[in-house]
Amino acid sequence: MQATSNATGLGRWMPVRWQIAAALCLVTTINYIDRAALAIAAPFMMPELNMTNTQFGLVASGFFWAYALGQIFSGRAVDYIGTKRAFSIAVLVWNLASAAHALSRGFLSLLSFRVILGIGEAANFPAALKAISEWFPARERSWATGVLTMGPGLGNIIAPPLIMTLIFFFGWRWAFVVSGAIGIAWLLVWKHVYYSVEDHPRISEDERRMILDERAREAVESVAQGHAEDAPRPSWLSFLRYREMWGLMLSRFIGDGAFYFFVTFLPLYLVSERGMNPAIEGVGGATSFEATLVVAYVLGTMVPFLGADAGSFAGGWCGKKLMDRGMSLNAARKTMIWTGALLVLPVTLGALVVESTVMAVALITLALFAIQVNAANLFVLPADLFQSRDVATVWGIFGALGSVGGALFAILAGWLIDNVSWASVFVIVALMRLVAAGFVQVFIPRVERLPPVAARA
């Protein structure tokens, strides 16, 4: 029987589910451009706003606390009001907050805008992972999550030249205005691309049938385990009855600070410890040596996140290939989680001890590669373990604990840098993902769809 298709335009050569994955990657890229703008602009902002490293750590921490709280509530909101509407509201809020950074006059005003940004950005990952759970079969979810988690790396690749160019020509305040405007423009893409599987106007019948058949198969398995899609939604606290939920939360609480450290503090590290001071009064006053420093600074803050993107893609792709070759879901996820975690340790410590700045940047690049190999398989676990209807709620709790850990580590890192050394922070970062992988191993005996809370009472 001949296959039927009503795909049009882009759908003829890219399946709709991968268009959605690309849109999710794009908005996550914008998310991280908005975040990275502060780190890139920090050497220019901090003298003007009379801020210390400790205050900068508190600003970063304020974002993470707001992000953590926002993820708990936004995850639940996404499950109730739907992915499309939730993303639209969140993107509008966080990009207006990003643009408002230009109005900062000191520590307190910057902290306030950063908190609002954190609340708005909190919906990004819960909504994105819910979309992946709705649109992708289990064997493709790690790869789709890998595409999604390329967003942080892409954001941190694009941000340095974009933000530095805006600072160079217009000043640091315009960097925030432009980054906010980019995010608002994304809403036009989202409105066009995202619909439910059943209602999408441009999906082929073959793709629609494949997704709905996979969903039906998972529904049959859920019913066999005692799930009922029309059952009352469990409360937040009821998820804590799962041993596996504690594994998810502890792994993020301990592990997230490693990536956030490089996002937040890498530009300051390159300036203060590696001598890449890009401070230039303006175009007319720039010498060739100063211009070289700008280029080195931009490359130093960009290149490591090329490694992060490569790690996201490689981690997701390898996870899929392991399953294609017969490895179980449990074994594939844990193999990639441990592979990334084990690689982080030597390359991070190596970056600390090498004298060459080029080698240090190269090793930090490998560290971010390894962190994202780990993350591409860790981040998909809520979709592997829980029903689609609960994924955003679970991911909100999961992500919130990561943000709390990131917030606490930002404070600790700022204090250690001011009072002890950068080396002490690098040692902690080198160990974080290994400890997180240990929590996954201990608390999640098998990665598989869990029975409902009531069945475990």
Instruction: Kindly tell me if the per-residue pLDDT of 227 is higher than 60.
Output: no
pLDDT confidence tier of residue 284, bands split at 50, 70 and 90: very low
Region 404-408 average pLDDT: 84
Q: Which residue has the higher pLDDT, 76 or 325?
A: 325
Tokens of 235: 């409360």
Average pLDDT, the chain: 83
The angle at the Cα of 147, spanning 60 to 31, to the nearest 5 degrees, equals: 30
pLDDT at 377: 92
- Spatial distance between the Cα atoms of 267 and 111, rounded to a whole number of angstroms: 19
pLDDT confidence tier of residue 388, bands split at 50, 70 and 90: confident
pLDDT at 288: 52
Instruction: Kindly tell me if the per-residue pLDDT of 195 is higher than 80.
Output: yes
Is the distance from CB of 274 to CB of 331 less than 8 angstroms? no
The helix, strand and coil proportions of the chain, stated in percent and rounded to the nearest 5, come to 80, 0, 20
pLDDT confidence tier of residue 455, bands split at 50, 70 and 90: very low
Is the distance from CB of 207 to CB of 6 less than 8 angstroms? no
pLDDT confidence tier of residue 176, bands split at 50, 70 and 90: very high
Q: Which are the contacts of 128, defined by CB distance < 8 A and separation ≥ 6?
A: 24, 27, 28, 148
- Spatial distance between the Cα atoms of 75 and 363, rounded to a whole number of angstroms: 35
Domains in the chain with CATH codes: 15-223+240-456 (1.20.1250.20)
Region 139-149 average pLDDT: 84
pLDDT tens-digit map of 36-48? 888 888 888 888 8
Is the distance from CB of 407 to CB of 64 less than 8 angstroms? yes
| Burial tier of 10 (Cβ tally within 10 Å: 0-12, 13-18, 19+) | middle
> Nearest CA to 363 among 377, 378, 345, 376?
345
pLDDT at 433: 95
- DSSP 8-state class, residue 101: G
- DSSP 8-state class, residue 231: S
Q: Where are the alpha helices (DSSP H) in 354-386?
A: 357-378, 381-385
| Least trusted range by pLDDT, from 88-97, 261-270, 421-430 | 261-270
Instruction: Kindly tell me if the per-residue pLDDT of 282 is higher than 60.
Output: no
Is the distance from CB of 239 to CB of 453 less than 8 angstroms? yes
Q: Which residue has the higher pLDDT, 300 or 63?
A: 63
Instruction: Kindly tell me if the per-residue pLDDT of 4 is higher than 50.
Output: no
Q: Which secondary-structure segment (H or E) carries 456?
A: none
Region 230-259 average pLDDT: 85
Instruction: Kindly tell me if the per-residue pLDDT of 456 is higher than 50.
Output: no
pLDDT confidence tier of residue 193, bands split at 50, 70 and 90: confident
CB atoms within 10 A of CB 353: 11
Look at the alpha carbons of 69, 72, 73, 74 in this order and tell me if their dihedral is positive or negative: positive
Instruction: Kindly tell me if the per-residue pLDDT of 431 is higher than 70.
Output: yes
pLDDT at 407: 78
- Spatial distance between the Cα atoms of 444 and 457, rounded to a whole number of angstroms: 18
Tokens of 217: 């198969």
> Nearest CA to 345 among 256, 413, 433, 253?
433
- Spatial distance between the Cα atoms of 418 and 52, rounded to a whole number of angstroms: 9
Q: Is 326 left (phi over 0), alpha (psi -120 to 50) or beta?
A: left
Residue 177 identity (one-letter amino acid): V
CA 192 to chain centre: 23
CA 314 to chain centre: 16
Region 111-132 average pLDDT: 90
- Name the range with the highest mean pLDDT among 39-43, 66-70, 157-161, 424-428: 424-428
Q: Is 446 left (phi over 0), alpha (psi -120 to 50) or beta?
A: beta
- Spatial distance between the Cα atoms of 63 and 74, rounded to a whole number of angstroms: 15
pLDDT confidence tier of residue 1, bands split at 50, 70 and 90: very low
Region 193-218 average pLDDT: 82
CA-to-CA separations, 53 to 202, 398, 414, in angstroms, rounded: 51, 29, 6
**Angle between helical axes of 172-193 and 83-100 (0-180°, round to 10):** 170
pLDDT tens-digit map of 287-316? 555 555 556 556 666 788 889 889 988 998
Q: Is 3 left (phi over 0), alpha (psi -120 to 50) or beta?
A: beta
Is the distance from CB of 290 to CB of 298 less than 8 angstroms? no
Q: Which residue has the higher pLDDT, 6 or 450?
A: 450
Instruction: Kindly tell me if the per-residue pLDDT of 79 is higher than 60.
Output: yes
pLDDT at 6: 54
CB atoms within 10 A of CB 390: 23
pLDDT at 309: 85
pLDDT tens-digit map of 340-385? 999 999 999 998 888 888 888 899 999 999 999 999 899 889 888 8
